[in-house]
Structure 1
Amino acid sequence: MPLMAAPQIRIVESTDIFRGQTEIMIRHDGVIYRMKITRQGKLILNK
């Protein structure tokens, strides 16, 4: 049986998402989430 290749996982750069901002809102399944870059450079996602 031939081996199946694993699907490629997409990588998105945070700079492309944030575009110079430190906070964005994401709508997922009708719910708004807030993603923020902290002063330490970490990401926080809140509902």
Structure 2
Amino acid sequence: MRIGVVKESEQETRVAIVPSSMRKLIKAGFEVVVESGAGLASSHDDQAYV
């Protein structure tokens, strides 16, 4: 199953999945795709999702 995380609106500072949760989902067998910049407002840069 594939999970997609998109960048939220400019007013939103939360992100749907934080990097630690993403790693757990991947270990459980999910494929996770994160849009560039999705976590910036939550202080998670793109490298945190690699």
Higher relative helix content: 2
RCO higher in 1 or 2 (8 Å CA, sep ≥ 6)?
A: 2
Common fold: TM-score over 0.5: no
TM-score, length basis structure 1: 0.24
